[in-house]
Structure 1
Amino acid sequence: MLPITPKRLHRLRDAFTLIELLVVIAIIGILVGVLLPAVQAAREAARRMQCSNNMKQIGLAVHNYHGAFRSIPTTSTGPDTSGSSCGSGFYSWLAMILPYVEQQNLHDSIDFDVALSDHCNYSFSSDYLDYSIAPSHPNAEAARTLVGTYLCPSDPAGALQLHEDGEQLAPGNYAANVGWPMRSHWPGHDQPLERQNGVFGLHNPSQPGSWQVRDIKFRDITDGLSNTAAVAERKISAATIVDTWWGGRTVSPETDENMQSFCGSSISARSLEKWVPYCGSVTHGDPSYIEKHGHSWISGWTFAANTYMHVMPIGERNCHVYGGEGLGNNLVTPGSYHTGGVHVLMADGSVGFRSESIDLQLWWAMGSANGGEANGQLE
């Protein structure tokens, strides 16, 4: 055995003991535990800022579109079948503003004379559930093109192109305000809404409805551009669909409530204050009405949900109205992955963050462009 000389002792002390290693690992673990939430918070703050900037760009694009065409872009909720063949239709307002979000080439690649659907046989309202864009469609390449400005980086589904049922579609996070549901009314009033009262118009070329307003101008927003919401965030649906024992399908109850759509009955006169408990009382979500929310920014199909309504509280459930499938009369509710609320683009182009706890009457008033409701002080 070699004697332990001062030189050899120095070499032995160069190594860590097991206890020292464990202490170092524990310290590193504590530092990671402390720093990781801060890093994640910083990343989310950056994503949230980018999301807000996207909406500012969209607001500028809408104003530029209005300057060029003297109206706010319209979403077509059905095809044009007035002639002997299937004409145009089913395009969203997002497709209309492409040139103003630096996507002129993408806009030019779209043949707007061809309906964005695999067929145009929509005789009844229920027919509008049978909708698809096949890879062979003339505008399929445009439909699967991701547009960064239309995606909020906080939504994990936005990082993926969606491949399902033979379709290849590019998602989007921003929906346009079309007001309140058809025949709804302000609490205490008894005059049902017969015409759209939102900011963005709707139009079904083959089955025009008197509730739809095709062309809306900024001058029509008599409640004030700074008081009226134009665009809000909406989650891309990642609803979990499960098969039932009786052979049907349903939405898993574990699915985020903001990614579920419940039956809101048929079109009927109902005050906004009654809509909320009515929609909230339904117990089973319907996958047919929710699974494609946000899955196609280009589409004007009602259940692509590129439009929304000011009814349910922010972040809560969606409700569909039987008979509203071809009209865009669908209670889509804004929601986001940000903590506590959503970004909302006002009609004047400003963007603000609206809390999930915003007063409901204020939220309803923000959705109406011309009702004269008192908005009070916006949060």
Structure 2
Amino acid sequence: MTETFRAVIRCLIGALLCVSAWLRWSNSYQFLNSVFKYNVVGEDAGVVVAAILPFVQLAVGLALILAVAEEGAWIGSLGLSVIFLIAHVVLIARGGVSDCGCFGAGPLQMSQTTSLAMAGFIFAGSLATIITRMQWTPTTARDAESAKALRPIPVSGARHGMTLIELLVVISIIGILVGLTLPAVQHAREAARRTSCQNNLRQLGLAVSLYHDANRVVPVTVSAWYEGQRPAAQRSGQSWIVGILPQLEQQGLYDKLAPGLAGDFFSGGGLMNPVVRPHLASPLPVLHCTSDGGFQSPSTLQVSLAGIPVTLTNYKGVIGDTRIGGSGSIHGGSEPDCHRIGGCNGMFHRNTYQEPITLGDVLDGLSNTFLIGEVVPSQMHYCAAFFCNGDYASCNGRINFFPNTPTEWWNVNTFRSHHPGGAQFVLADGSVRFVNQAFDITAYRALSTRAGNEVALLP
């Protein structure tokens, strides 16, 4: 390999590193979001890594371009590739998606391959290309000494072992193979998790349909708050999920919760009944989406339940597009907050014990109306599966909106998931669809209402 060709390769690799460093600076939010989203490191460490990493890339890139301390640049490149690949393995083990923002956002961001493994592939690949120094001709006294030091000492009658250069080349090739393989493994695992989540939603949709066949209404929620006609002595606080337990083949759990299906919730009755309370933490796998690596159930953090351990749900009923909390919400949507005045325009709401909903009320078409969607309990402390305040969410805000705090109920009760790019919903006809987070907000809200007379279709 000629000196000119080596210089060109070196400069190209150096330029790539410098461009990647610049894109990290311009897209630091994406990188930080990935670090915090999947709990790779602590918050402080994540900020430090995000701040230092571009400088490291820039230093290595300039070292390559300027041919300064070449050996150090090679070692640095190898070290970065190993770090990236290890980090990617950690993310996969945690069920994460490594959208690190290494190559910017928008058109510059390569879908799905914009990953730590891709970065590792580039660094390891550059190392494999450049370490053709085994054909290097020394031009200075220092280079001659380095070449002499790297030359193996012949031993009579002994086989030659692998040289340092050969070892580094092998490592770099392994890095390339791992970098090519890991994204495929990650995509396969996410596809399996997404399919499992679809099956959960399909089961919930079928259970709602069976409940409707038996009772002629959609499963109801019984509010724990006094809202007009409901006598205080009958405030059980049950969610619609409790009602479909028999249809989910959980008759035994339903029977254990039955003593709490009547009684004043705030007087220690209903679901707060001491006989019922221990069963509120009963696990229910059909309510857990495996893509949510941060799912921790039971939880004692749920609002209005006074630190009681309760099982959580990744799936909530769609109440429509109401602007929850009225003027306190940063989202748009129908006004005023339907929970304060009566029935909502979706398939569920906190007052359905007063105004039951039937499938006959769905004038927009069963295939054009959301029934149940995905949520992330770690981002909203209103996900108690069996409680009336944890079984609903609104389509007033965009999919995958990240709230300021998990207790701002007027902002957090929107749909989101850990699936890349959107969330899944089961419609009133039982079909399951993935909805992109960039889906038009007006059409998205229209699909959440049962009789809004809107014209909206999923792509």
Same fold (TM > 0.5): yes
Which protein has the bigger helix share? 2
Q: Which residue number corresponds to residue 166 of structure 2? A: 20
Q: Which residue number corresponds to residue 436 of structure 2? A: 355
1:203 Cα offset (Å): 2.5
Contact 1:79 1:89 in 2 (8 A): no
Q: Give the TM-score of the pair, scaled to structure 1.
A: 0.65
Q: Which residue number corresponds to residue 264 of structure 1? A: none
Q: Decide whether aligned partners of structure 1 residues 45 and 315 sit closer, same or farther in structure 2, where only a CA change above 3 A counts.
A: same
Q: Give the TM-score of the pair, scaled to structure 2.
A: 0.55
Correspondence list, 1:124-273, <5 A: 137-158=274-295, 160-164=297-301, 166-181=307-322, 195-203=343-351, 214-237=355-378, 259=379
1:108 matched to 2:237? The reply is no
Structure 2 distance, partners of 1:192, 1:113, is 28
Residue segments in structure 1 that go unaligned for 5+ positions in a row? 123-131, 206-212, 238-258, 260-289
Equivalent in 309, 312, 331 of residue 397 of structure 2: 312
Structure 2 distance, partners of 1:103, 1:161, is 18
Higher relative contact order (CA 8 A, sep 6+): 1
Structure 2 distance, partners of 1:57, 1:351, is 10
Q: Decide whether aligned partners of structure 1 residues 58 and 114 sit closer, same or farther in structure 2, where only a CA change above 3 A counts.
A: closer
Structure 1 distance, partners of 2:264, 2:178, is 50
1:133 Cα offset (Å): 7.7
Residue segments in structure 2 that go unaligned for 5+ positions in a row? 1-153, 327-331
Q: Which residue number corresponds to residue 341 of structure 1? A: 422
Q: Structure 1 stretches (4+) deviating beyond 4 angstroms?
A: 114-118, 163-166, 189-194, 317-320
2:423 aligns to what SS in structure 1?
strand
Q: Decide whether aligned partners of structure 1 residues 43 and 361 sit closer, same or farther in structure 2, where only a CA change above 3 A counts.
A: same
1:378 aligns to what SS in structure 2?
coil
| Residues paired across the two proteins, number | 287
Q: Which amino acid aligns with 1:362?
A: A
Q: Which residue number corresponds to residue 109 of structure 2? A: none
Amino-acid identity (%): 32
Contact 1:201 1:214 in 2 (8 A): no
Q: Which amino acid aligns with 2:453?
A: G
1:293 matched to 2:368? The reply is no
Larger radius of gyration: 2
Which protein has the bigger strand share? 1
1:190 Cα offset (Å): 10
Structure 2 distance, partners of 1:18, 1:340, is 44
Give me the CA root mean square deviation.
3.7
1:371 matched to 2:431? The reply is no
Structure 2 distance, partners of 1:191, 1:222, is 22
Q: Decide whether aligned partners of structure 1 residues 116 and 57 sit closer, same or farther in structure 2, where only a CA change above 3 A counts.
A: farther
Structure 2 distance, partners of 1:117, 1:29, is 63
Moved more, 86-95 or 228-237: 86-95
Q: Decide whether aligned partners of structure 1 residues 112 and 371 sit closer, same or farther in structure 2, where only a CA change above 3 A counts.
A: farther
Q: Which amino acid aligns with 1:109?
A: K
Q: Which amino acid aligns with 2:428?
A: A
1:357 aligns to what SS in structure 2?
coil
